[in-house]
Chain A
Amino acid sequence: MKILTLTFLTCARKSCKPEPTSYPLHPTSAELEIIPVDFNPLFLRALLPRLDWPTLRILCEAFGLPGLQEEAPEEDALFLQPEEGGAMEDVEVQGEKGKEVVEDVEKKGEEETREASQLAKDLHHLLLETTMQEGKLVCGCCGHEYAVKEGIANFLLPAHLV
């Protein structure tokens, strides 16, 4: 299970839903594994406003991963500023697109090939490539333990807990 998923999961019990302690779930005795995933900076950009930064910091601490910066980064921090790599990209865009002279297309191409910063690459590595393979997730409210096996968490509740 990706850390990305972990930052969004809450306890499945109905009685826990209104309690603030039911989020985030606390991982215990976790085994981590790195599974490479294609880098997608546009997805990160769309995701960033939804990410709960304090939670991510708590999770990193629980896993013993290197600490994150204290404040959530701005959207612009995910990409290098156009001045730095702009000239080089222009050449690339022209080289790839060849004779396509339509301005809109070129502009769009530039937007997409804006180079991602080191921060974006680190975030991608943390959120999408680091996965929890084995372990348990504990709800801070009711103390229910959700087992994680082979990267799949078991969120089935017995009938008396629903």
Chain B
Amino acid sequence: MSRPEDILPPDLYYDDPTSKKYTSNSRIQNIQASMTHRALALLNLTEPSLILDVGSGSGLSGAILSAVPPEQGGPHTWIGMDISASMLAVALERDVEGDMLLADAGQGVPFRPGTFDAAISISAVQWLCNAESSVESAPGRLKRFFEGLYASLRRGGRAVCQFYPRDDKQKKMVSDAAIKAGFGAGLLEDGGGTKQVKVYLVLTVGESGDITGIVAGMDGVDVEDHRKRRNKKGERPNKRDEIIRRKHRMEGKGKVVKATTKYTGRKRRIAF
């Protein structure tokens, strides 16, 4: 599978011909539309909202946001950000309804705090995992993006970012950056284990931080919790193991510790 972000930076890769080809390709249109609908379902908006579209491109996802019927809480008003001037030129030709900015999400989000009800990003965040100059780094760009996004969303707002991670390491780097910025985060995978896997990063602002409750009610979603559970009271670990663990720790600190034997952690009963 070719990864365009390995070839060129986004502003150069999406030049005029590529942007036109991308936007007029019906296969890409279909995939983008289905992913936008999925993201909208995850956002679960009930009234007309102000939405930030990060990497709005030629407005494929934005057109869907403007076209949500009133029964489903629409139509939404959106503001798009994209780094490719050619993509935005195509969007102007297509006469989309939203406002657009030429901006690099890796440089932050230039909006005042609490602006947006929600944010959506379709196939864009993986571009932030590449640094194009020596003065910036991929984690730094992700950090600025998520911090800016966190601030610009209102409390109780939600963001859904669909992206194509290269591997598990990159997936973890992106979700860790989001959690560090303060989001409650979780990953939703559609078609996990297949080639067509689609990864959605679901982010919440100012809620409890547990997002499993949001997706648990949806059809065909299995929740896999990889968080470490703390032992409940009463389920104490074995006393002997506990002592050995503590001895090991003390040894690490350079203390003199008695050797571990079969008598370690045993009670001294009165032998009569």
A contact set with B: CB distance below 8 Å = 1-2, 4-5, 8-12, 14, 17, 23, 37-38, 40, 42-43, 46-47, 50, 52, 112, 128, 150-157, 159, 162
Report the interface size for chain B: residues with CB under 8 A from the other chain.
Answer: 33
Q: In whole angstroms, how far apart are the Cα atoms of A146 and B177 in the complex? A: 29
With both chains docked as a complex, state the minimum distance between the C-beta of A60 and any C-beta of chain B, in angstroms.
Answer: 18
Residues of chain B lying within 8 A (CB to CB) of residue A159? 133, 135-136
Q: In whole angstroms, how far apart are the Cα atoms of A1 and B79 in the complex? A: 9
Contact B102 A154 (CB under 8 A): yes
Q: In whole angstroms, how far apart are the Cα atoms of A5 and B116 in the complex? A: 11
Contact B110 A42 (CB under 8 A): no
Contact B77 A8 (CB under 8 A): no
Residues of chain A lying within 8 A (CB to CB) of residue B102? 152-156
- In the assembled complex, B108 has its CB within 8 A of some CB on chain A: yes
- Closest residue of chain B to A24 (Cβ to Cβ) is B112
Contact B136 A162 (CB under 8 A): yes
- In the assembled complex, B42 has its CB within 8 A of some CB on chain A: no
Residues of chain B lying within 8 A (CB to CB) of residue A52? 112
Q: In whole angstroms, how far apart are the Cα atoms of A38 and B154 in the complex? A: 25
Choice from B92, B112, B144 contacting A152 with Cβ under 8 Å = B92
- Closest residue of chain B to A52 (Cβ to Cβ) is B112
Residues of chain A lying within 8 A (CB to CB) of residue B92? 150-152
Choice from A1, A50, A112, A155 contacting B115 with Cβ under 8 Å = A50
In B17-52, which residues have CB < 8 Å from any A CB?
Answer: 47-50
Contact B110 A155 (CB under 8 A): yes
Residues of chain A lying within 8 A (CB to CB) of residue B133? 159
Most chain A CB atoms below 10 A, which of B49, B103, B104? B103
With both chains docked as a complex, state the minimum distance between the C-beta of A61 and any C-beta of chain B, in angstroms.
Answer: 19
